[in-house]
Amino acid sequence: MKDGKNTYKSRRPMERLLQRIPFLKDEKYSPFLAAGLLLTSIMLIFILIGLFWTPYDPTAMNRNEKLAGISIRHLMGTDNKGRDILSRVMYGSRITLMIATGTMIVGAGIGTVLGALTGYFGGMADEIFMRIVDALLAFPSVLMALVIVSLFKTGSWEVMMALGIAFIPSFARIVRSEVLRCRSMDYVENARIQGVSDLRIIFMHILPNIRGVLLSSILIGFNNAVLAEAGLSYLGIGSQPPHDSLGSMLSSAQQYMLSNPVSVLGPGLAIIWMVLGFSFLGEGLRREGD
Protein backbone atom coordinates (compact mmCIF):
# COMPACT_ATOMS: atom_id res chain seq x y z
CA MET A 1 0.00 0.00 0.00
CA LYS A 2 3.05 2.20 -0.51
CA ASP A 3 1.71 4.11 -3.44
CA GLY A 4 -1.70 4.46 -1.86
CA LYS A 5 -3.27 2.15 -4.39
CA ASN A 6 -6.01 -0.20 -3.41
CA THR A 7 -4.14 -3.46 -3.11
CA TYR A 8 -7.03 -5.58 -1.97
CA LYS A 9 -10.07 -5.88 -4.14
CA SER A 10 -12.93 -7.90 -2.80
CA ARG A 11 -15.16 -10.09 -4.86
CA ARG A 12 -18.05 -9.39 -2.57
CA PRO A 13 -20.39 -6.67 -3.84
CA MET A 14 -21.06 -5.18 -0.39
CA GLU A 15 -17.36 -4.85 0.33
CA ARG A 16 -16.67 -3.37 -3.08
CA LEU A 17 -19.27 -0.74 -2.36
CA LEU A 18 -17.59 0.20 0.92
CA GLN A 19 -14.19 0.30 -0.73
CA ARG A 20 -15.40 3.13 -2.88
CA ILE A 21 -15.67 5.29 0.22
CA PRO A 22 -12.30 7.11 0.39
CA PHE A 23 -11.17 6.52 3.96
CA LEU A 24 -12.41 2.92 4.08
CA LYS A 25 -10.57 2.05 0.89
CA ASP A 26 -7.82 -0.27 2.04
CA GLU A 27 -9.73 -2.09 4.68
CA LYS A 28 -10.85 -5.67 4.45
CA TYR A 29 -14.23 -6.25 5.97
CA SER A 30 -16.29 -9.31 6.63
CA PRO A 31 -19.51 -9.10 4.62
CA PHE A 32 -21.50 -8.81 7.84
CA LEU A 33 -19.50 -5.83 9.06
CA ALA A 34 -19.75 -4.22 5.65
CA ALA A 35 -23.53 -4.72 5.48
CA GLY A 36 -23.88 -3.44 9.04
CA LEU A 37 -21.84 -0.31 8.37
CA LEU A 38 -23.85 0.36 5.24
CA LEU A 39 -27.29 -0.12 6.81
CA THR A 40 -26.41 1.82 9.96
CA SER A 41 -24.90 4.76 8.11
CA ILE A 42 -27.90 5.01 5.79
CA MET A 43 -30.16 5.03 8.88
CA LEU A 44 -28.05 7.69 10.58
CA ILE A 45 -28.00 9.86 7.45
CA PHE A 46 -31.79 9.42 7.19
CA ILE A 47 -32.19 10.61 10.79
CA LEU A 48 -29.68 13.44 10.34
CA ILE A 49 -31.56 14.75 7.31
CA GLY A 50 -34.73 14.52 9.37
CA LEU A 51 -33.19 16.91 11.88
CA PHE A 52 -33.10 19.69 9.30
CA TRP A 53 -35.58 18.77 6.64
CA THR A 54 -38.56 16.49 6.25
CA PRO A 55 -40.78 16.33 3.14
CA TYR A 56 -43.69 17.63 5.21
CA ASP A 57 -44.12 18.87 8.76
CA PRO A 58 -44.45 15.59 10.71
CA THR A 59 -47.27 17.06 12.78
CA ALA A 60 -49.13 18.90 10.00
CA MET A 61 -52.54 17.35 9.47
CA ASN A 62 -54.18 17.41 6.09
CA ARG A 63 -57.87 16.67 6.09
CA ASN A 64 -58.00 16.05 2.34
CA GLU A 65 -55.35 13.35 2.29
CA LYS A 66 -56.27 11.01 5.10
CA LEU A 67 -55.03 7.41 4.86
CA ALA A 68 -53.54 7.88 1.41
CA GLY A 69 -51.60 4.99 -0.10
CA ILE A 70 -48.10 5.11 -1.52
CA SER A 71 -47.68 7.85 -4.09
CA ILE A 72 -45.05 10.28 -5.37
CA ARG A 73 -46.38 12.94 -3.02
CA HIS A 74 -46.34 10.63 -0.01
CA LEU A 75 -43.75 7.90 -0.42
CA MET A 76 -45.04 5.94 2.57
CA GLY A 77 -48.62 7.15 2.45
CA THR A 78 -50.41 9.20 5.09
CA ASP A 79 -51.97 8.29 8.43
CA ASN A 80 -55.48 8.71 9.80
CA LYS A 81 -54.94 12.43 10.37
CA GLY A 82 -53.45 13.02 6.95
CA ARG A 83 -49.90 13.34 8.21
CA ASP A 84 -47.09 12.28 5.90
CA ILE A 85 -45.75 8.95 7.18
CA LEU A 86 -42.26 9.35 5.70
CA SER A 87 -41.79 12.60 7.62
CA ARG A 88 -43.12 10.98 10.74
CA VAL A 89 -40.82 7.98 10.32
CA MET A 90 -37.85 10.33 10.01
CA TYR A 91 -38.88 12.01 13.23
CA GLY A 92 -39.92 8.81 14.99
CA SER A 93 -36.64 7.04 14.15
CA ARG A 94 -34.83 9.87 15.89
CA ILE A 95 -36.98 9.45 19.01
CA THR A 96 -36.46 5.67 18.97
CA LEU A 97 -32.71 6.08 18.51
CA MET A 98 -32.54 8.64 21.30
CA ILE A 99 -34.44 6.43 23.73
CA ALA A 100 -32.26 3.45 22.86
CA THR A 101 -29.10 5.52 23.28
CA GLY A 102 -30.33 6.85 26.61
CA THR A 103 -31.17 3.33 27.72
CA MET A 104 -27.64 2.22 26.88
CA ILE A 105 -26.10 5.19 28.69
CA VAL A 106 -28.06 4.36 31.84
CA GLY A 107 -27.90 0.56 31.59
CA ALA A 108 -24.40 0.06 30.24
CA GLY A 109 -23.01 3.01 32.21
CA ILE A 110 -24.33 2.07 35.65
CA GLY A 111 -24.03 -1.65 34.95
CA THR A 112 -20.39 -1.35 33.94
CA VAL A 113 -19.44 0.75 36.97
CA LEU A 114 -21.27 -1.56 39.40
CA GLY A 115 -19.94 -4.72 37.77
CA ALA A 116 -16.38 -3.41 37.66
CA LEU A 117 -16.40 -2.27 41.28
CA THR A 118 -17.94 -5.42 42.73
CA GLY A 119 -15.83 -7.65 40.51
CA TYR A 120 -12.64 -5.89 41.46
CA PHE A 121 -13.17 -5.54 45.20
CA GLY A 122 -15.18 -8.72 45.75
CA GLY A 123 -16.17 -9.58 49.30
CA MET A 124 -19.54 -9.52 50.98
CA ALA A 125 -20.97 -6.65 48.92
CA ASP A 126 -20.13 -8.52 45.74
CA GLU A 127 -21.82 -11.68 47.02
CA ILE A 128 -25.05 -9.88 47.92
CA PHE A 129 -25.01 -7.82 44.75
CA MET A 130 -24.63 -10.88 42.56
CA ARG A 131 -27.53 -12.66 44.27
CA ILE A 132 -29.74 -9.64 43.54
CA VAL A 133 -28.46 -9.50 39.96
CA ASP A 134 -29.25 -13.21 39.54
CA ALA A 135 -32.77 -12.64 40.80
CA LEU A 136 -33.25 -9.68 38.49
CA LEU A 137 -31.86 -11.56 35.49
CA ALA A 138 -34.43 -14.29 36.00
CA PHE A 139 -37.04 -11.55 35.76
CA PRO A 140 -37.94 -10.63 32.14
CA SER A 141 -36.64 -7.14 31.33
CA VAL A 142 -39.78 -5.99 29.52
CA LEU A 143 -41.78 -6.96 32.58
CA MET A 144 -39.40 -5.02 34.79
CA ALA A 145 -39.68 -1.97 32.56
CA LEU A 146 -43.47 -2.32 32.72
CA VAL A 147 -43.35 -2.36 36.52
CA ILE A 148 -41.15 0.70 36.64
CA VAL A 149 -43.25 2.62 34.14
CA SER A 150 -46.43 1.68 35.96
CA LEU A 151 -44.98 3.16 39.15
CA PHE A 152 -44.24 6.47 37.49
CA LYS A 153 -45.93 7.95 34.50
CA THR A 154 -45.66 7.17 30.82
CA GLY A 155 -43.30 9.06 28.57
CA SER A 156 -39.99 8.94 26.76
CA TRP A 157 -37.86 9.76 29.80
CA GLU A 158 -39.60 7.23 31.98
CA VAL A 159 -39.20 4.49 29.38
CA MET A 160 -35.54 5.39 28.97
CA MET A 161 -34.96 5.14 32.71
CA ALA A 162 -37.07 2.01 33.09
CA LEU A 163 -35.34 0.14 30.29
CA GLY A 164 -31.98 1.43 31.43
CA ILE A 165 -32.54 0.09 34.94
CA ALA A 166 -33.84 -3.17 33.50
CA PHE A 167 -30.62 -3.54 31.48
CA ILE A 168 -28.24 -2.87 34.41
CA PRO A 169 -28.06 -6.48 35.70
CA SER A 170 -26.93 -8.06 32.44
CA PHE A 171 -24.18 -5.49 31.94
CA ALA A 172 -23.11 -5.72 35.57
CA ARG A 173 -22.77 -9.44 35.22
CA ILE A 174 -20.78 -9.40 31.98
CA VAL A 175 -18.39 -6.71 33.19
CA ARG A 176 -17.98 -8.35 36.58
CA SER A 177 -16.92 -11.67 35.11
CA GLU A 178 -14.51 -9.93 32.73
CA VAL A 179 -12.99 -7.85 35.54
CA LEU A 180 -12.65 -10.99 37.68
CA ARG A 181 -10.74 -12.60 34.83
CA CYS A 182 -8.41 -9.61 34.44
CA ARG A 183 -7.94 -8.87 38.13
CA SER A 184 -5.06 -11.29 38.62
CA MET A 185 -3.40 -10.66 35.27
CA ASP A 186 0.18 -9.46 35.12
CA TYR A 187 -0.51 -5.96 33.88
CA VAL A 188 -2.89 -5.32 36.75
CA GLU A 189 -0.43 -6.71 39.30
CA ASN A 190 2.25 -4.55 37.72
CA ALA A 191 0.17 -1.43 37.97
CA ARG A 192 -0.65 -2.25 41.57
CA ILE A 193 3.01 -2.64 42.49
CA GLN A 194 3.71 0.72 40.94
CA GLY A 195 1.22 2.20 43.36
CA VAL A 196 -1.56 3.02 40.90
CA SER A 197 -4.83 3.58 42.76
CA ASP A 198 -7.55 0.93 42.57
CA LEU A 199 -10.00 3.20 40.77
CA ARG A 200 -7.41 4.13 38.19
CA ILE A 201 -6.58 0.45 37.65
CA ILE A 202 -10.25 -0.36 37.11
CA PHE A 203 -11.16 2.45 34.79
CA MET A 204 -7.89 3.22 33.01
CA HIS A 205 -6.31 -0.23 32.83
CA ILE A 206 -8.92 -2.98 33.00
CA LEU A 207 -11.88 -1.38 31.22
CA PRO A 208 -9.96 -0.45 28.06
CA ASN A 209 -8.78 -4.05 27.89
CA ILE A 210 -12.26 -5.51 27.91
CA ARG A 211 -13.63 -3.03 25.35
CA GLY A 212 -14.24 -5.78 22.78
CA VAL A 213 -16.66 -7.65 25.00
CA LEU A 214 -18.19 -4.38 26.13
CA LEU A 215 -18.72 -3.14 22.58
CA SER A 216 -20.46 -6.27 21.40
CA SER A 217 -22.70 -6.37 24.48
CA ILE A 218 -23.57 -2.73 23.88
CA LEU A 219 -24.52 -3.49 20.27
CA ILE A 220 -26.70 -6.41 21.36
CA GLY A 221 -28.14 -4.33 24.18
CA PHE A 222 -28.86 -1.53 21.76
CA ASN A 223 -30.94 -3.84 19.61
CA ASN A 224 -32.80 -5.14 22.61
CA ALA A 225 -33.44 -1.55 23.65
CA VAL A 226 -34.85 -0.61 20.25
CA LEU A 227 -37.08 -3.69 20.24
CA ALA A 228 -38.19 -3.22 23.86
CA GLU A 229 -38.91 0.47 23.37
CA ALA A 230 -40.91 -0.28 20.25
CA GLY A 231 -42.89 -2.88 22.20
CA LEU A 232 -43.57 -0.58 25.14
CA SER A 233 -44.54 2.34 22.89
CA TYR A 234 -46.77 0.00 20.95
CA LEU A 235 -48.52 -0.83 24.21
CA GLY A 236 -49.05 2.88 24.73
CA ILE A 237 -46.79 3.25 27.74
CA GLY A 238 -43.77 4.59 25.91
CA SER A 239 -43.26 7.90 24.18
CA GLN A 240 -46.43 9.98 24.03
CA PRO A 241 -47.83 12.13 21.22
CA PRO A 242 -46.68 14.41 19.68
CA HIS A 243 -43.26 12.77 20.26
CA ASP A 244 -44.32 9.51 18.65
CA SER A 245 -41.66 6.86 18.33
CA LEU A 246 -41.85 4.12 15.70
CA GLY A 247 -43.64 1.81 18.12
CA SER A 248 -46.46 4.21 18.91
CA MET A 249 -46.86 5.02 15.21
CA LEU A 250 -47.38 1.31 14.59
CA SER A 251 -50.08 1.01 17.20
CA SER A 252 -52.13 3.80 15.65
CA ALA A 253 -51.44 2.56 12.13
CA GLN A 254 -52.70 -0.88 13.10
CA GLN A 255 -56.13 0.54 13.97
CA TYR A 256 -56.54 1.81 10.42
CA MET A 257 -54.98 -1.19 8.75
CA LEU A 258 -58.23 -2.13 7.01
CA SER A 259 -58.48 1.18 5.17
CA ASN A 260 -54.75 1.79 4.67
CA PRO A 261 -52.66 -1.38 4.95
CA VAL A 262 -49.42 0.22 3.72
CA SER A 263 -49.30 2.62 6.66
CA VAL A 264 -47.81 -0.07 8.93
CA LEU A 265 -44.92 -0.76 6.54
CA GLY A 266 -43.01 2.51 6.95
CA PRO A 267 -42.49 2.48 10.72
CA GLY A 268 -42.14 -1.32 10.84
CA LEU A 269 -39.45 -1.44 8.18
CA ALA A 270 -37.62 1.42 9.87
CA ILE A 271 -37.40 -0.61 13.10
CA ILE A 272 -36.20 -3.69 11.21
CA TRP A 273 -33.66 -1.62 9.30
CA MET A 274 -32.24 -0.10 12.48
CA VAL A 275 -32.05 -3.40 14.36
CA LEU A 276 -30.69 -5.28 11.36
CA GLY A 277 -27.92 -2.73 10.88
CA PHE A 278 -26.75 -3.02 14.45
CA SER A 279 -27.06 -6.80 14.52
CA PHE A 280 -24.97 -7.11 11.34
CA LEU A 281 -22.41 -4.80 12.93
CA GLY A 282 -22.31 -6.92 16.06
CA GLU A 283 -22.09 -10.15 14.08
CA GLY A 284 -19.33 -8.70 11.92
CA LEU A 285 -17.30 -7.54 14.93
CA ARG A 286 -17.73 -10.95 16.56
CA ARG A 287 -16.45 -12.73 13.46
CA GLU A 288 -13.61 -10.24 13.10
CA GLY A 289 -12.63 -11.00 16.69
CA ASP A 290 -12.59 -14.77 16.19
Partner 1 sequence: MKYILKKAVMMILTLFVVSILVFLAFNLIPGDPAARKLGTEATPAQLENLREEMGLNDPLVVRYLRWAGGFVKGDMGDSYTYGPVEKLIADKVPITITLALMAFVIMTIISIPLGIYAARNKGGFIDRIIVVTDQVVMSVPPFFAGILITLIFGLILKLFVPGKFVSYNRDPAGFFAYLLFPAIAIALPKSAMTVKLLRGSVIEEIGRDYARTAYSRGNDTRQVLYRHILKNAMIPVVTFMGMALADMVSGSIVIEQVFNIPGLGRMLLTSINNRDYPVVEAIIMGISIMVMTVNFMVDVIYRIIDPRIDAVD
Could you tell me which stretch among 42-50, 73-81, 191-199, 227-235 binds partner 1 (CB under 8 A)?
Answer: 227-235
Our finding on whether 134 is near partner 1 (CB under 8 A) is yes
Could you tell me which stretch among 8-16, 19-27, 118-126, 247-255 binds partner 1 (CB under 8 A)?
Answer: 247-255
Provide, rounded to whole angstroms, the least separation between the CB of residue 63 and partner 1.
Answer: 26
CB closer to partner 1, 41 vs 62: 41
Our finding on whether 231 is near partner 1 (CB under 8 A) is yes
Which residue among 113, 180, 191, 276 contacts partner 1 (CB under 8 A)? 276
Provide, rounded to whole angstroms, the least separation between the CB of residue 137 and partner 1.
Answer: 9
Our finding on whether 48 is near partner 1 (CB under 8 A) is no
Provide, rounded to whole angstroms, the least separation between the CB of residue 236 and partner 1.
Answer: 8
Rounded Cα–Cα distance for residues 142 and 162 (Å) = 9
Rounded Cα–Cα distance for residues 206 and 120 (Å) = 10
Our finding on whether 150 is near partner 1 (CB under 8 A) is yes
Provide, rounded to whole angstroms, the least separation between the CB of residue 17 and partner 1.
Answer: 16
In order, the DSSP letters of 246-276 are: HHHHHHHHHHTTTT-GGGGHHHHHHHHHHHH
50 close to 91: Cβ distance less than 8 angstroms: yes
Which residue among 75, 142, 180, 196 contacts partner 1 (CB under 8 A)? 142
Our finding on whether 172 is near partner 1 (CB under 8 A) is no
Rounded Cα–Cα distance for residues 240 and 163 (Å) = 16
* Displacement of CA 118 from its chain's centroid (Å): 26
Provide, rounded to whole angstroms, the least separation between the CB of residue 222 and partner 1.
Answer: 12
285 close to 215: Cβ distance less than 8 angstroms: yes
Rounded Cα–Cα distance for residues 106 and 281 (Å) = 22
Which residue among 98, 235, 240, 243 contacts partner 1 (CB under 8 A)? 235
Provide, rounded to whole angstroms, the least separation between the CB of residue 118 and partner 1.
Answer: 17
Rounded Cα–Cα distance for residues 103 and 127 (Å) = 26
Rounded Cα–Cα distance for residues 137 and 67 (Å) = 43
Rounded Cα–Cα distance for residues 144 and 129 (Å) = 18
Which residue among 49, 147, 185, 199 contacts partner 1 (CB under 8 A)? 147
Maximal C-alpha separation, the chain: 75
Could you tell me which stretch among 75-83, 113-121, 197-205, 278-286 binds partner 1 (CB under 8 A)?
Answer: 278-286
Rounded Cα–Cα distance for residues 96 and 102 (Å) = 10
CA angle 33/283/204 to nearest 5° reads 90
Contacts with partner 1 by CB under 8 A lie at 131-132, 134-136, 138-140, 142-143, 146-151, 223, 227, 230-231, 234-237, 247, 250, 254, 257-258, 261, 264, 268, 271-272, 275-276, 279-280, 283
